[in-house]
Amino acid sequence: MALLIRGYHKASLLLVVSYYFLVLNHICAEQISSAGRCDLYQGSWVYDESYPLYDSSKCPWVSESFLCVPNGRPDKDYLKYRWSPSGCHAPRFDALDFLRRYTGKKIMFVGDSISNNQWQSLTCMIHAAIPNAKYSGHLEQNTVFINFTDYNVSLLYNRNVYLVDLVAENSERVLKIDTISTGDVWKEVDAVIFNTWHWWWLTGSLQGGNDWGSPGTNCANHTAPIYGTVYPGSPIPGVAVVKQVLSRMSVHVNLLDITTLSRLRIDGHPSRYASKGGTAHDCGHWCLAGVPDTWNSLFYASVVLSESA
Ligand SMILES: *[C@@H]1O[C@H](CO)[C@@H](O)[C@H](O)[C@H]1NC(C)=O
Ligand SMILES: *[C@@H]1O[C@H](CO)[C@@H](O)[C@H](O)[C@H]1NC(C)=O
Ligand SMILES: *[C@@H]1O[C@H](CO)[C@@H](O)[C@H](O)[C@H]1NC(C)=O
């Protein structure tokens, strides 16, 4: 799940933060259904020769651990799937239109390495579509800035695994759910996208250093998605909680309800191609190009559809 919050100001930011624990995932699906529109997140994966949207080895921002093909992944079909909503047509990602819609704006991805995965994907999608677009980048504390200067759009990735502060107190690690010490950067941005995945795998103690507590799926050797519209497994309890909480929020929050469509992509993880000749077995992150491109395409689609309502 990923959340997009648009156009908030300081007051609403506080609201998000203080509701945060309860909050985690409201949906704008209500707005969508009340506007008589379709559910972008209900659908299936279809093979599409025109994919992938970019060649990851030509994108300057991809981490080695997401570079599955350069790391030796032999099968390539997993690059070729497009998400197809059942009840409607999702507009194809249009980088130029996206940048024009966000001219003068800063979009920030905040969160763990999955947010980084999604941020890298979006920067690559834009770079591949407009290869001559000038950009500048810099790092400020825990935030990376990429500014597509011709269009005056900045894409930020603010690393903060739990969104709120995690501090050491009496040799314990404590989550401070009402403080974000790196929060100043939040005030400068126009849209924030974060994912809540990490929260649902917390157990009694926080595992130090390990960024990703992935559930125990084995994704090795899968070369095709799970077909159909239904994930054959139990729902993730957090999804319902998030939707319920979001339905009570007054801040404009748009839920990118990508949990199911991502779970269908058992073939989309780096698995043992998270490094060259590596022994890791990564079923938590996603190869690039790959599934996060769909998250960003749906982000774009939801912006286009909500603005044309
Ligand atoms: C870019 O956008 C910012 C924020 O809206 C604005 O202050 C600035 O003047 C813009 N710069 C250019 C070169 O258009
Ligand atoms: C992008 O960079 C230009 C030049 O440094 C700056 O004027 C502008 O404000 C930046 N735009 C955004 C949206 O951060
Ligand atoms: C995946 O395939 C490799 C190579 O054929 C094999 O050694 C390995 O056991 C397989 N892993 C799983 C989990 O099936």
Query: Is 236 within the bounds of a domain?
Result: yes
220 Cβ inside 6 Å of ligand 3: yes
Q: Closest residue (by CA) to atom 5 of ligand 1?
A: 104
The average pLDDT across 221-243 equals: 87
Range of the domain at 92: 2-203+217-307
**Residue with CA closest to ligand 2 atom 10:** 152
- Rounded Cα–Cα distance for residues 28 and 256 (Å): 8
Mean pLDDT check: name the lowest of 46-50, 149-153, 154-158, 168-172.
168-172
Dist. CA 241–CA 243, nearest whole Å: 5
- Is 156 exposed, middle or buried (CB count within 10 Å of its CB: 0-12, 13-18, 19+)? buried
Q: Is 149 in the pocket of ligand 1 (CB under 6 A)?
A: no
Q: Is 103 in the pocket of ligand 2 (CB under 6 A)?
A: no
Count the residues in the chain: 309
Q: Is residue 79 part of a domain?
A: yes
Q: What is the best residue among 107, 145, 152 to mutate for testing ligand 1's pocket, by most ligand atoms within 8 Å of CB?
A: 152
β-bridge mates for residue 116, sequence order: none
Q: Read off the pTM.
A: 0.84
Q: Which of 167-171, 205-209, 257-261 has the highest mean pLDDT?
A: 257-261
User: Is residue 34 a part of any domain in this protein?
Assistant: yes
* Cα–ligand 3 centroid distance for 72 (angstroms): 15
Would you tell me how many other CB atoms lie within 10 Å of the CB of residue 216?
A: 5
Q: Which ligand is nearest to the CA of 147?
A: 2
Please report whether residue 228 resides in a domain: yes
* Distance of CA 197 from the midpoint of ligand 3 (Å): 28
Q: How far is the CA of 274 from the centre of ligand 3 (A)?
A: 16
For residue 23, the model assigns a pLDDT of: 25
| Residue 104 in contact with ligand 1 by CB distance below 6 A | yes
Specify which of 29-43, 106-120, 152-166, 171-185 reaches the highest per-range mean pLDDT.
Answer: 106-120
For the chain, the domain total comes to 1
**Residue 212, in any domain of the structure:** no
**Bigger pLDDT: 5 vs 242:** 242
Of 309, 285, 294, 304, nearest to 71 by C-alpha is 285
Give the whole-angstrom CA distance, residue 52 versus residue 78: 9
Ligand 1 geometric centre to CA of 157 (Å): 20
Residue located nearest, by CA, to atom 12 of ligand 1: 152
Q: How far apart are CA 259 and CA 1, in angstroms?
A: 5
Q: From the alpha carbon of 220, which atom of ligand 3 is closest?
A: 13
- Of all protein residues, the one whose alpha carbon is nearest to atom 14 of ligand 1 is 152
| Selected residue with higher pLDDT from 32 and 2 | 2
Task: Give dist(CA 298, CA 295) in Å, integer.
Answer: 5
- 134 alpha carbon, closest ligand: 2
What's the gap in Å between 104 CA and the centre of ligand 1? 5
Question: pLDDT band at residue 119, thresholds of 50, 70 and 90?
Answer: very high
Task: Using the atom order of ligand 3, give the atom closest to the CA of residue 221.
Answer: 1
- Highest mean pLDDT: which range of 177-181, 283-287, 304-308: 283-287
Answer whether 152 contacts ligand 1 (Cβ < 6 A).
yes
* Ligand 1 neighbourhood includes 103 CB (under 6 angstroms): no
Asked if residue 210 is part of any domain, the answer here is: no
Average pLDDT on 141-160 reads: 94
